[in-house]
Amino acid sequence: NNICDFLLPGKNLLLQTGLVDHVASIRPNIFVGRVEGSAIYQKWYFEVTMDHIEQMTHMTPHLRIGWANTAGYVPYPGGGEKWGGNGVGDDLFSYGFDGVYFWSAGRRTCVVPREVTEPFIKKGDVIGCTLDLSVPVIRFTFNGEPVQGCFTDFNLDGMFFPVMSCSSKLSCRFLFGGDNGRLKFNPPPGFSPLVQCLMPHQNLSLDPCFYFGNLNKNVLAGPWMVEDDSAFVPKPVDTSTVSLPSSVETIRDKLAENIHEMWALNKIESGWTWGERRDDVYRIHPCLTSFEKLPAAEKRYDCQLAVQTLKTILALGYYISMDRPPARIRPIRLPNDPYMQGNGYKPAPLDLSAAVLTPKMEELVDQLAENTHN
């Protein structure tokens, strides 16, 4: 009250205990995490490069780069030491690197033994960040050289995302690989560029982690929508307790052979030809041969696929019975060009054009396709 009543109106005296720069945090709309049983890859890598840095106040420009978690990372622009978290590493939900120090929970740990003048990250420098969710561990590189030390044994709740916090007059770029920023250095062995985590048809965007809105127009914004990408967890139909009747066992080998014939037909139509050694560049495949001449592993795969398909049909509540087909089922007669291979093999899948599927059977087809994907 004394400040409001006496000091501010007269401008005689204003006590300032400490001025801090506003710091903003920015993140892409990419989220990764570890979900039990999911198919999400566990090792990711991205880079940040410095384009411009300029000191505008008495304070050294702020720049930290790292990973944060959706479970609780909420930075405030006017925070700072003992003022509340405002950057990467100021809380328990983010892990950052400023060129010399590791930051987490508001505390720093020196990881560069030699003396470095401020600013620690200069124009042209490249900081690499890795996240291995299988350990878990977070590591950094400085211009391609590994930084000693790491963050490990941190909480895996929530989803992780790249984040960068900086003050004014700093210009940096995220490099995620491919068309979204070509990497300056190769990812460490086993790590994938973060661009590969983008969902199909997903557009990459960069958003502030904390946004008030357009205050000049009296527009206040709520929190950004966090796209917690749902982790895909395969859930195939459980067929462990299903046993095939003897009448169904008799068609297993015929189904396996027809599966191979259909596979060979599709391969040849895609431009593949037979050869003794596989070559993906020239589209040469040694399995473009008759079912009897397949290697044991390939034949076993087709037989297992046939058995699992039949078991899945039973597990979904359907019954398999024998019936007369509407017409005699014969192999499809294909022309020699381009189907005849150099080893004398030509695919001969069964002609099922006369078979008409009921709506219930169409539903079964969709269920089998989904289960095959799982």
Return the amino acid letter for 362: E
Query: Does residue 231 carry a pLDDT above 70?
Result: no
The winner for highest mean pLDDT among 73-82, 154-163, 193-202, 211-220 is 154-163
Query: Does residue 83 carry a pLDDT above 60?
Result: no
275 or 16: whose pLDDT is higher? 275
* pLDDT tens, position by position, 235-255: 889 998 998 888 888 888 899
Residue ranges per structural domain of the chain: 19-217, 246-373
pLDDT at 84: 55
How far is 331 from 38, CA to CA, in rounded Å?
Answer: 41
How far is 248 from 322, CA to CA, in rounded Å?
Answer: 9
168-172, 222-226, 303-307, 326-330: range with lowest mean pLDDT: 222-226
How far is 263 from 259, CA to CA, in rounded Å?
Answer: 6
- Residue-wise over 31-67: b if at least 16 C-beta within 10 A, else e? bbbeeeeeebebbbbbbbbbeebeeeeeeebbbbbbb
How far is 259 from 250, CA to CA, in rounded Å?
Answer: 15
Confidence band, pLDDT 50/70/90 cuts, at residue 310: very high
pLDDT at 13: 53
Extract the tokens encoding 166.
């900086």
Whether cis (ω within 30° of 0) applies to the bond prior to 75 is: no
Query: Does residue 359 carry a pLDDT above 60?
Result: yes
285 or 357: whose pLDDT is higher? 285
* pLDDT tens, position by position, 22-71: 788 899 989 998 877 777 889 999 999 999 888 877 778 889 999 999 88
SS3 content of the chain, % helix, strand, coil (to 5): 20, 20, 55
Q: Which residues lie across from 103 on neighbouring strands? A: 96, 108
Dihedral sign for Cα atoms in the order 351, 353, 358, 359: positive
Confidence band, pLDDT 50/70/90 cuts, at residue 130: very high
How many Cα atoms within 13 Å fall on the side-chain side of residue 338? 12
Maximal C-alpha separation, the chain:
104
Give percent above pLDDT 90 in the chain. 52
Burial of 335 (0-12, 13-18, 19+ CB in 10 A): exposed
Task: Quickly name the fold that domain 19-217 has.
Answer: Jelly Rolls (2.60.120)
How far is 332 from 75, CA to CA, in rounded Å?
Answer: 66
How far is 350 from 328, CA to CA, in rounded Å?
Answer: 10
pLDDT at 8: 53
Residue 168: CB atoms within 10 A of its CB come to 14
pLDDT at 94: 94
11-20, 198-207, 361-370: range with lowest mean pLDDT: 11-20
pLDDT at 5: 61
How far is 26 from 75, CA to CA, in rounded Å?
Answer: 10
* pLDDT tens, position by position, 165-212: 988 888 999 999 988 999 999 999 999 999 998 877 788 988 888 766
How far is 341 from 284, CA to CA, in rounded Å?
Answer: 11
Per-chain mean pLDDT for the chain: 86
Residue 365 belongs to what H/E stretch? helix 359-373
The residues near 200 (Cβ < 8 Å, ≥ 6 apart) are: none
Burial of 188 (0-12, 13-18, 19+ CB in 10 A): middle
271 or 202: whose pLDDT is higher? 271
How far is 146 from 107, CA to CA, in rounded Å?
Answer: 21
pLDDT at 115: 83
